[in-house]
């Protein structure tokens, strides 16, 4: 089970325009909605923001992983967004976020979702992984970086 | 050596149903008892809490949902087994998946373990870390890995 099997080039935004956490989540979900099977993007956005209210998904090292199970998705979906200016996610370390991994799942796919979240958290420990994602020039390169690190 | 005690670890979802169908087929053919285990993966929840991707309340909700899914899945497989006249026991466990499965195999003296298809290995590390690989390697009894879903469907229907 690989994240690179689920991450599609058309779900990678190399330059997120939004400057707020809510705006970034909305921007990424709207792009995701064109490629993934999301029946109700507004409901998904609302589920993600509800999760943020429990506690920030900005986990430090300029990374955020907004995530939520939701009935509005068929199966499992992941998107990547990169902000060059940085976004305030009220992160644990107080730093702005440049790398955003947004994940959603239908509740029926919980086991898969949890394993992929755990896998992503391990990949993100690697400073070189984060650095390469920050300097990737296009969406295909993002997927190639995932493939490379998932094979290690 | 007759096979009397078959153990099947299942994680839920469509691939697990194929594994369950094959295990029911084998149990029926051998007149064996079928024990199906679903393990709530507490390890993965702890990892996500530790890496701060989850907050406490969220982890508790996932834990509850996983347990409920496991219960429903075991109920579903029980109906399938009973409809084919196979003796069935469903067991819901919590903990580290491969540890719980191996312990259960020892506890019931399983003489066959039926498991779903192993995933493609991406790295050497996964040989040692993947739950399926570890169950396969550490099982105290013979292991059957289920393949070819269309053939499994055919065998199950013909029972």
Instruction: With cut-offs at 50, 70 and 90, classify the pLDDT of residue B57.
Output: confident
Question: What ipTM describes this predicted complex?
Answer: 0.76
Q: State the CATH number of the domain containing residue B80.
A: 3.40.50.12370
The CB density around residue A17, as the number of other CB atoms within 10 Å, is 11
pLDDT above 70 (res A107): yes
- The label of the residue with tokens 């099947």 reads B8
- Reported as type and span, the H/E element at residue B47 is helix B42-50
Residue pLDDT, tens place only, A57-96: 999 999 999 999 998 888 889 999 999 999 999 998 999 9
For residue A60, give its domain range.
Answer: 3-151
How far off is chain B from A101, nearest CA to CA, in Å?
11
Strand-pair partners of A87: A97
Strand-pair partners of A77: A104
Please tell me the total number of residues recorded for chain A in this structure: 152
pLDDT for B124: 54
- Tell me the pTM: 0.79
Check CB contact of A118 with chain B, cutoff 8 Å.
yes
Candidates B48, B122, B123; nearest CB to A117 = B48
pLDDT for B129: 63
- As for how many domains chain A has, the answer is 1
Report CB contact under 8 Å: A54, B119: no
Check CB contact of B129 with chain A, cutoff 8 Å.
no
The CB density around residue A117, as the number of other CB atoms within 10 Å, is 23
Q: State the CATH number of the domain containing residue A15.
A: 3.40.930.10
Check CB contact of B13 with chain A, cutoff 8 Å.
yes
Q: B144 CB contacts (<8 Å, ≥6 apart)?
A: B22, B26, B112, B113, B114, B115
Written as one string, the DSSP assignment of B127-141 is HHH-HHHHHHHH-SS
pLDDT above 80 (res A138): yes
pLDDT for B51: 85
| A57 half-sphere exposure, CB direction, 13 A CA radius | 26
- What is the Cα gyration radius of chain A? 14
Chain A nearest-CA residue for B120: A1
How far off is chain B from A48, nearest CA to CA, in Å?
13
For residue B79, give its domain range.
Answer: 5-158
Check CB contact of A53 with chain B, cutoff 8 Å.
no
Q: Count of A–B CB contacts within 8 Å?
A: 55
- As for how many domains chain B has, the answer is 1
A17: left (phi over 0), alpha (psi -120 to 50) or beta: alpha
- What is the Cα gyration radius of chain B? 16
Residue A9 DSSP symbol: G
């Amino acid at each position: 089970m690989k994240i690179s099997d689920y991450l599609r080039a058309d779900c990678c935004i190399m330059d997120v325009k939004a400057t707020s956490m809510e705006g970034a989540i909305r921007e990424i979900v709207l792009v995701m909605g064109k490629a993934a099977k999301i029946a109700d993007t507004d409901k998904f956005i609302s589920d993600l923001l509800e999760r943020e209210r429990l506690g920030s998904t900005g986990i430090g090292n300029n990374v955020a992983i907004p995530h939520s199970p939701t009935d509005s998705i068929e199966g499992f979906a992941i998107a990547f967004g990169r902000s060059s200016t940085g976004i305030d996610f009220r992160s644990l370390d107080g730093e702005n976020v440049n790398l955003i991994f947004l994940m959603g799942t239908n509740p029926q796919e919980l086991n898969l979702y949890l394993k992929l979240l755990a896998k992503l958290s391990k990949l993100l420990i690697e400073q070189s992984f984060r650095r390469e994602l920050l300097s990737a020039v296009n969406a295909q390169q993002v997927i190639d970086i995932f493939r490379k690190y998932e094979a290690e | 050596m007759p096979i009397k005690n078959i153990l099947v670890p299942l994680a839920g979802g469509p691939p697990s149903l194929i594994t369950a169908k094959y295990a029911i087929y084998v149990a029926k053919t051998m007149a064996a008892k079928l024990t199906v285990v679903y393990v709530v993966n507490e390890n993965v929840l702890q990892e996500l809490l530790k890496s701060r991707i989850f907050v406490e309340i969220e982890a508790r909700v996932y834990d509850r949902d996983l347990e409920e899914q496991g219960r429903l899945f075991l109920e579903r497989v029980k109906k399938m087994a009973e409809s084919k006249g196979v003796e069935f026991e469903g067991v819901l466990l919590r903990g580290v998946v491969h540890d719980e499965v191996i312990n259960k195999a020892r506890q019931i003296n399983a003489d066959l373990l039926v498991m779903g298809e192993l995933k493609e290995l991406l790295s050497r590390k996964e040989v040692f870390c993947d739950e399926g690989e570890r169950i396969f390697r550490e099982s105290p009894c013979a292991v059957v890995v289920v393949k070819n879903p269309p053939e499994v469907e055919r065998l199950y229907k013909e029972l």
